[in-house]
Amino acid sequence: MNKSNHPEKKLSTFKFYFPVVILAILGISLSVFGYYSLSKHEQERARVGFERLANKLSADLQKSIELNLETIQSLRDFYVSSQTVERSEFHSFAEGIFSRRVGVRTLEWVPRVKDSELENFETLAHREASPAFRIQEIGGQEKNVPLGRRSEHYPIYYVEPFEKFKFRLGDDLASDVSRREMLEKARDSGEISTTQPIRLLSETGGEIGFLVCAPVYVNDKPHNTLEDRRQNLQGFVVGSWRIDEFIKSSLNVLLLDGIDFYLYDGPNVSDEFLFYHFEAINSPVSNSPEKHQTEIRSPFKWITSFQVAERPWTVLYRPKPEYLAERSTRQPWAVLMTGFIMTMFFIFYLLLILRRGVLIEKIVTRRTSELSESNVMLQNQILERHQAEEALRVSDGRHREVASNIPGAVYQFVLRPDGSMAFPYMSESISKITGIASEEIRLDGSKPFTRILPEDLPLVNQSILESAKTMTTWLREFRIKTMSGEIKWLRATSSPNALPDGSILWNGVILDVTDLKFAELHLKELNEELRQKEQKLLKALEDLRKTHQELKETQAQLIQAEKMDSIGRLAAGVAHEVKNPLAIIMQCIDYVLLSAEIKDENVRSVLNDMSEAIERADSVIVELLDFASLSEAKKTSENLNSILEESLLLVKHELDRHHIKVVKNFSDALPAVRINKNRVQQVFVNILLNAFQATPEGSELKVTTFSKRLQQVGGRVGRRKSDIFRPGSRVIVVEIQDTGSGVSEELLDKIFEPFFTTRRGKGGTGLGLSVVKSIMEMHQGSVEITNNAEGPGATVILTFNVQETEENYNEQEKNISGG
């Protein structure tokens, strides 16, 4: 396995280091590039600064040269303006120039002395200058070199500063080639001329420098042509300069810090013609070609040329490394170093990550191998499971088919100990019922509850908790609002199972019973309607019965009324027709009684009997009429005690006649009753008269009144329509008890029938008690007659109903409690 992995390992090593290398290259390149561009920029900046400086220095130098040349020019002008210049005049003029410190080393006056005039000149000089004066070869004094033979000599005649350079007096400038060339050039051109760099003569040795001369021609003589100029030349004004002093006076050498300064005598930069070299501040002047050569390799330089009295000079500025070093910063290096460090850091970090990756890869490889092993096991298991799943799928498909196609939804509902709820399973058919996808319900167990109508929700929740508590089957009907806004009735039922974690799982089914419910509701409504109709019918039946009863009663009353009306009409007619004859008879009897003197007492007695008979007949008629017109009475609120008193007064005559003693036992607390006073009086009178007739003379008659509340049902007390008295109603009872013979049992039933009398032919009409009964019935009262339990005689019991208005009732209660 290792062998086979070998190339792979190489590849992975390459893979491992490739990004590192790339990163290193990239980092270094970037660093170098940064360094390079920053350096470049700095160099450019140094170059610009350098050029500006060089330019300024060149300008200064040029200006200084012009100023120095002007001194020669001014000295010449001095000669031109004066015919002769005395030594003292020259001295004063030179003093003035030296005081300006322009860098001039010497100022000389060099006259032209023709060889022919040599001796004369020296003679004059001995007189005027010094006896030791003589014209000589330059530098030839010490060596005793004899003066060469030349057509013309140019001896130094005046020299300033005199003390320092008096040894130069008499030096023939024509003896030196460079000097002679300069002088001849100036003579021929009439212009200022200079020498090439030459070694200047001095006491201490020679210094490098240059001479400048200007020709002075004899005044009033022409010098326009070459010939004229050669002919009329008087002499030369000559100045000498030490080059180093000249440069130092011309330039601010402090500015040359770190810059090499080269001056060439000529139009080009050429080592041959190097005139002056200023290396750096305080550096010694050198014109060593080697050194010059080594330092010529600078990145940049500045070269400029200008004319010095028609002789071209060239200046070269070259910055030294120190100059550049001073103007460069460490930034490029810093950038470079930072770049390197960053690169190193990133490489390190990358290595770390890669190392980690390799580690992980190793772990992955190990795990992979483990996994592949278990994979094989799993494959086997999967195979087994596939088979099981296939079986399950068939079964599940069947279940799903059942769950999806039954008219409702199958579900599992879990209530956890923390109170949270979930639907682990909800068949897809729920969406048909509620409009909520089963997936949504499985994700959010509270969702179905949000669709339950708020008025049903508490009952649903309560019943679930109750089912959880009692572990009994949950069954509930409730309403929901579907997603489409429709109200549906659902019936859900499920059986609870306790799970090991304390949760309770219900397996159940939800049915859409909306149609059923509506049918049920409709049925209920119909039932209710039916019930109401039935009740209405029952009520109607009851009403009908009542009406029928009333009708029957009314009919009876009508028949009675009709009967009475007939009797009444009959009675009225009969009464009129009987009463008139009676009236006539009565008048006749009166007439007889009044007209004749009746001696026979029997006749008078007969007439009186007749009169009584008429009165009785009249009373029969009146009673008959009364009987016939019972229903016409008007009722007023009366006290029965006082009516009884009045009635007793009415029958007082009869009482006294029969010597009957009346024992009154009246209750003081009788409530008022609404009655027809005359009729009731008639009742009392009738009964009293009846009683007198039954009662033996000298006996007692007991009259009792009291009020009571009826308690028990029985007799005439009851709740039927035909019952006169109701239990609990208040009544007044009037009892009239006689001590007569009583009433035989067989007559007790007949005694109140009309025209029944035991005194037929003795003045009894048979209407008295019948009228009493009718009047009592008219007042919703009753009359009874019973034989006394103790002793002889009978008792008539009259019972009056008290109409209990509130006012009446209060009065009664007060009276009763008071009495």
Partner 1 sequence: MSKKKILVVDDEEKFCKMLKANLEKEGPYEVQIETKGAQALAVAKVFQPDLIVMDILMPDLGGCEAAFQIKNDEKLKNVPIIFLTALAKKKDQELFGGIVDGRPFIAKPVIAKPVKTKDLIKFIEENLNKPVDAAPSA
Q: Which is nearer to partner 1, 575 or 734 (CB)?
A: 575
C-alpha torsion 697→702→703→707, nearest 10 = -170
Q: Which is nearer to partner 1, 607 or 669 (CB)?
A: 607
User: Which residues lie across from 217 on neighbouring strands?
Assistant: 233
* Rounded Cα–Cα distance for residues 441 and 422 (Å): 8
The nearest distance, CB 702 to partner 1, in angstroms, is 34
Q: Which is nearer to partner 1, 575 or 771 (CB)?
A: 575
Q: Which is nearer to partner 1, 118 or 582 (CB)?
A: 582
* Rounded Cα–Cα distance for residues 506 and 414 (Å): 6
Q: What is the 3 state secondary structure string of 697-743?
A: CCCEEEEEEEEEECCCCECCECCCCCCCECCCCEEEEEEEECCCCCC
The nearest distance, CB 768 to partner 1, in angstroms, is 17
The nearest distance, CB 606 to partner 1, in angstroms, is 16
The nearest distance, CB 584 to partner 1, in angstroms, is 5
The one-letter amino acid at 413: F
* Rounded Cα–Cα distance for residues 757 and 106 (Å): 209
Q: Which is nearer to partner 1, 590 or 813 (CB)?
A: 590
* Rounded Cα–Cα distance for residues 816 and 645 (Å): 21
The nearest distance, CB 771 to partner 1, in angstroms, is 15
The nearest distance, CB 582 to partner 1, in angstroms, is 4
Contact by Cβ (8 Å): 311, 194: yes
Q: Which is nearer to partner 1, 380 or 619 (CB)?
A: 619
Residue whose structure tokens are 């290396």: 279
Within 13 Å of residue 493, how many CA atoms lie on the same side as its CB? Answer: 7
Q: Which is nearer to partner 1, 457 or 572 (CB)?
A: 572
Q: Which is nearer to partner 1, 254 or 596 (CB)?
A: 596
The one-letter amino acid at 435: G
The nearest distance, CB 659 to partner 1, in angstroms, is 28
Q: Which is nearer to partner 1, 94 or 767 (CB)?
A: 767
User: Which of 492, 440, 435 lies closest to 461 in space, CA to CA?
Assistant: 492
Q: Which is nearer to partner 1, 280 or 586 (CB)?
A: 586
Q: Residue-wise over 226-235: b if at least 16 C-beta within 10 A, else e?
A: eeebeebbbb
The two three-digit tokens of residue 139, written as one number: 């530098």
The nearest distance, CB 634 to partner 1, in angstroms, is 13
Q: What is the DSSP string of 18-47?
A: HHHHHHHHHHHHHHHHHHHHHHHHHHHHHH
The nearest distance, CB 567 to partner 1, in angstroms, is 13
The nearest distance, CB 746 to partner 1, in angstroms, is 35
Q: Which is nearer to partner 1, 3 or 653 (CB)?
A: 653
User: Which of 684, 576, 688, 565 lies closest to 627 in space, CA to CA?
Assistant: 565
Q: Which is nearer to partner 1, 80 or 588 (CB)?
A: 588
- Does the N-terminal peptide bond of residue 161 adopt cis geometry, omega within 30 degrees of 0? yes
Residue 428 CB contacts under 8 Å (≥ 6 apart), including other chains: 403, 404, 437, 438
Contact by Cβ (8 Å): 455, 462: no
Residue whose structure tokens are 């005793």: 144
The nearest distance, CB 774 to partner 1, in angstroms, is 17
Q: How many CB atoms lie within 10 A of CB 472?
A: 11
The nearest distance, CB 579 to partner 1, in angstroms, is 4
Where are the strands (E) in 409-547, listed by range? 409-415, 421-426, 474-481, 487-498, 504-512
Interface residues with partner 1 (CB under 8 A)? 572, 575-580, 582-588, 590-591, 594-595, 611, 614-615, 618, 621-622, 625, 629, 632
Residue whose structure tokens are 């609002």: 481
